Amino acid sequence: MLSVAGLTEIGFCDAGTLETTKTNAAAMGIRNATELQITPFNQIEAYRNQKLRNMLNFKWEGESYQPTMSFLEKVLNWIRNGVDVQIKSVKQTPAAASENIFKFAGNNKLGLNFEYVIDSKKRFIKPILEGAMDFEDAKAFLDTADSESAVDLGFTLEGKDYSLRKAPYFLAIQVPKTVDLVSKYNVVERSFMLKGKGKKLERNIDKVDYITATLSVTMETASINDMITILAKNESPSFLLKEKNTGDFYDGFDIKEGMLTQSEDFKIGDNNRTLSVTYEGDIPVNYFALQLGLSNGSDESDTEGITGGTLVIG
């Protein structure tokens, strides 16, 4: 019988809680097309170009277009403390419970890395899961995938919530804080990224020690006076980025002085005259704290960061 392509709910919760309390559960919800890849890892090479079995590597990554501050904070906590993951396929037959269920937890856990991106085209958070299992363990794990019972993580429609979908919406970029870097009407392109950085362990699991933060802005305001203004800024200034949500709520990133350094790029030519500035640095993984409340971009009744919030970095 031919197999049927497709994944449905991809859910996460705190490490060690998938089969019990399902603490801090979250789902990808609205996302891009993804796949679970299972490939040989660290094969042993014999003579005559023979590759012998060793381990099997499991990797999955995907962009969620529901990148709430709550989801981002959970990902940061999972990077520090571990995560349980459940990936469900579509039904393989018309019968109930014919999905393949992959539970990455306990002795079958994967490592976690991530990217969080805001640019001119989209906003998303991308969890990146990867890890290798010994061959016999991997075979046993796969053998149970068509008989496992899915854990109910409490989501409907695979976690899709269109009220949580976020499009780019420039509100403010201040460098240093309280001083606007550029008007949104003068921006050529912009991007802000948080990305985990660390090392791979023996089982191809990520150990994230730092988060690389990068803010890049190219603008049309490139007079000599504009250039001097940029060059006069502190080499490692504070900055505040705000991206609008619904109503008065926003997602904010408050990065303290000394965390990122500034680089400049000026172009004066026949077709373009632009000023580009980039702020970048590696920040220890424990230097991130979410602040909530009206003064930080979220509803006063929001205790998670669903409506917004400000991530204080440094």
pLDDT given at position 81: 98
Q: Is the residue at 236 inside a domain?
A: yes
- Does residue 176 have a cis peptide bond before it, meaning omega lies within 30 degrees of 0? yes
Q: For residues 203 and 83, state if they share a domain.
A: no
Q: What is the overall mean pLDDT for the chain? A: 97
**Whether residues 185 and 154 fall in one domain:** no
pLDDT at 211: 99
Q: Is 270 exposed, middle or buried (0-12, 13-18, 19+ CB in 10 A)?
A: exposed
Residue 250's pLDDT is 99
Residue 22 to residues 16, 27, 88, 170, 288, Cα–Cα distance (Å)? 8, 12, 16, 35, 24
30 contacts 160 by C-beta, under 8 angstroms? yes
In a domain? residue 234: yes
Q: Is residue 2 part of a domain?
A: no
The model's pLDDT over 163-191, given as tens digits with 9 standing for 90+, comes to: 999 999 999 999 999 999 999 999 999 99
Residues 103 and 230 in one domain: no
- The pLDDT tens digits for 99-118 are 999 999 999 999 999 999 99
- d(C-alpha 201, C-alpha 71), whole Å: 25
For residue 49, the model assigns a pLDDT of 96
> Do 93 and 13 share a structural domain?
yes
Tell me: do 253 and 114 sit in the same domain.
no
Do 246 and 227 lie in one domain? The reply is yes
Give per-residue pLDDT as tens, 121-158.
999 999 999 999 999 999 999 999 999 999 999 999 99
Residue 138 is assigned to a structural domain of this protein: yes
Do 53 and 110 fall within a single domain? yes
Asked if 23 and 145 sit in the same domain, the reply is yes
What is the reported pTM? 0.96
Same domain, 309 and 198: yes
Whole-number pLDDT of residue 197: 98
The last residue of a domain, from among 99, 128, 159:
159
Average pLDDT score over residue span 13-41:
98
Q: Of 203, 209, 207, 211, nearest to 82 (Cα)?
A: 207
In this prediction, residue 96 carries a pLDDT of 87
Q: What integer is the mean pLDDT of 8-31?
A: 98
pLDDT digits (tens, 9 = 90+) for 219-274: 999 999 999 999 999 999 999 999 999 999 999 999 999 999 999 999 999 999 99
Under DSSP, the state recorded for 256 is P
Q: Are residues 151 and 177 in the same domain?
A: no
**Final residue in a domain of this structure, among 159, 191, 208:** 159
Residues 186, 258, 115, 162: is their CA dihedral positive or negative? Answer: negative
**Residue 129 domain-assigned?**
yes
- Residue 1: pLDDT over 80: no
In a domain, 165, yes or no: no
183: containing domain: 170-313
**105 and 243 part of one domain:** no
Tokens in use for 217?
A: 């802005």
280-289 pLDDT, tens digit each:
999 999 999 9
Per-residue H/E/C for 135-149: HHHHHHHHHCCCCCC
- Confidence band, pLDDT 50/70/90 cuts, at residue 304: very high
- Give the pLDDT confidence score for residue 215 in this predicted structure: 98
Domain end point (choices 96, 127, 159): 159
| Percent of the chain's residues with pLDDT above 70 | 100
Query: What's the total number of domains in the chain?
Result: 2
Q: What is the mean pLDDT of residues 53-70?
A: 99
DSSP state of 180: B
- Quick check: is 164 in a domain? no
Please indicate, yes or no, if residue 152 is contained in any of the structural domains.
yes
Q: Say whether both 210 and 118 belong to one domain.
A: no
